[in-house]
Amino acid sequence: MAEIVASTKDLPPIPDDLTVPQFILDSHHPCRPLRRHSIPWFIDGQTGNKVGLEELRARTYGLANGLKISYAIILVHSPNHIDYPVAMWAVHRLGAIVSGANASFTTDELLYHVNMVKPTVLISHPDCLHTAHSAARAAGIDANRILVFDGPGSHTPSVVTVQSLITLGLASPPSFTERRLNPGEGKTRVAFVGLSSGTTGKPKAIAIPHYTPIATSVQVAFHLRVNDDKVPWEERRFRPGDIASAVLPIYREYADVVQLHFMLFCGMTIVVINKFNLVNLLQTIEKFRITHLPLVPPQVVLICKYPKVREYDLSSVRFIKTGAAPLTSETMSKFAPLFPGAHIEQGYGTTEASSISICPVEVKTDLSGSSGVLLPGVSARVERPDGSLADWGELGELVIKSPALALGYTNDSEANRETFSNGWYRTGDEVRLLKTGHLFEMLKVKGFQVSPAELEGCILEHPDVIDACVVSIPDEYSGELPMAFVVLHPRTAARVREDPRVFGEIKQSIIQHVASKKAAHKRLSGGVEFIDAIPKAPTGKLLRRVLRDRARKQLAKVRGML
């Protein structure tokens, strides 16, 4: 039966009495390689300025001392910034909680986030300041509770900058005593409150303890033998002195845990990129000789489609990790030749459970479409709709248990009952699990396994499409049929608005595009529906279950009218 119960006897101890900055900045662990003092921790991708450990510690202390707040929630509403980690760690030094918000939020979206988490202070960016002020005003938060990262437009008399508070804090007598956790308290003390759509419904506030990024760092480092002297230096995926890009938004769980904390744990330098721009990313790889690239599938697709990509020197890249949504083996096969010699892998995780599976350590590049194997310490089972265990390789809902699980949704007992039960977390994702621990997201048509990611990759090759999500709808004859929700390119959407006749032509064109490239059972027999945006968790993970439920309700309504 499709159930794997993890053994933790070989997993190294995971500290449960440390906060995140104490673990990252102040402690050592057997899985952690030693970093030479000369290796910078961060490089500002715009200015090239380098920041080392002692400067990070000082800036973190200075900001904490300058903030002078009691236990509270601080909301960070900003694109990536060199002081973003400093702000998070300063808040944690004070015993307070961080909540990260999408820098592209509208005022209404940010107001929803503010009302959900009720922050005491907002830390924003000059580019986001107007939205921050509008949302704060609507929520009744005084303007003097808004701080701003340094940048163009931040140096005006009415703006209190993060840098000014750091300067003040370093020049002032100590005004706080750093919180020390009791044994086991790291598992219950909240470090982050993020917004996750969960498996259904409106965005929910989810409480993530300090233990989650700490546990994930240890799990991944142990699995990948990061500090194992038996692994030859040239075969190690992560080495002190390697250089990673931080192009994924830090507010996302995937970026916060893997791109930031895990990479620092491995002794690497992180180049902070303000926001994603394909040409800027390629130029940054060249300029700083980036070795490690954490990405999400839409970025991979853009790189594959960019006609000038081979004009850039990408030879420094040794490792690429993609997550948040599955990639097809076809896309991986097109992507891999652009980075010859690089290890390329994809993984699976959620905001509620952090990283769940990654590529096996002995595999250099996995083109199978698998989301990897379960991490050490992760138990998993696949359940049929009636709650019974599926067979190996049979499609069902993934239910997992992990040391890195979130504490649950705040102020939402119903969602907690639906999602968390007796230490297990219901992901809402349909997968098949092999005895080897490999995960595949699948649906079944006429008895044949069909990968939604495979079809999504094919649909994304269509010139009129910029995003897609494939779900299953029930069918009496075939069992299930693939149905695609598609986001059209803006220029195509404009054509549809001008001439409704184009609507059907484009829909048929997408169906024919897939039919010309795939076997009969993989065709979009369930149809195509255009949608303004694919619902995704803050990590970028496709909320497939949301669209599947929508499709099945629409189908039930149509059948009820017949």
Q: Which CATH number fits domain 3-17+186-441: 3.40.50.720, 3.40.50.12780, 1.20.1090.10, 3.40.830.10?
A: 3.40.50.12780
CA atoms of 510 and 502, how far apart (whole Å): 12
CA atoms of 263 and 245, how far apart (whole Å): 10
Tokens 């040409």 belong to 279
* Longest Cα separation, the chain: 76
Q: How many CB atoms lie within 10 A of CB 331?
A: 24
What angle, rounded to 10 degrees, do the helices at 162-171 and 53-67 form? Answer: 90
Tokens 């929700």 belong to 485
198 touches 27 (CB < 8 A): no
Q: What are the residue ranges of helices labelled H in 94-144? A: 107-117, 129-139
- Residue ranges per domain, the chain? 3-17+186-441, 52-180, 444-561
Strands 269-272, 243-246: pairing is parallel
pTM of this prediction? 0.81
* Side chain identity, residue 179: R
Q: How many CB atoms lie within 10 A of CB 84?
A: 26
Q: What are the residue ranges of helices labelled H in 315-437? A: 329-335, 413-419
- The topology under which CATH files domain 52-180 is Rossmann fold (3.40.50)
Strands 42-44, 269-272: pairing is parallel
Confidence of residue 476 (pLDDT cuts 50, 70, 90): low
**Is 3-17+186-441's fold the same as 52-180's?**
yes
Strands 160-161, 269-272: pairing is unpaired
Question: pLDDT by residue (tens digit) across 59-83?
Answer: 999 999 998 776 588 999 999 999 9
Tokens 């439920």 belong to 549
Question: pLDDT by residue (tens digit) across 336-391?
Answer: 899 988 888 888 888 888 888 888 777 777 666 677 888 899 999 998 878 888 88
CA atoms of 493 and 508, how far apart (whole Å): 15
Q: Which range among 98-112, 487-501, 544-558 shows the weakest confidence by mean pLDDT? A: 544-558
3-state secondary structure of 345: strand
CA atoms of 102 and 105, how far apart (whole Å): 6
Closest to 528 (Cα-Cα) out of 487, 475, 480, 474: 487
Is the pLDDT score of 547 beyond 80?
yes
The CATH number of the structural domain formed by 444-561 is: 3.30.300.30
476 burial level (CB within 10 Å; 0-12, 13-18, 19+): exposed
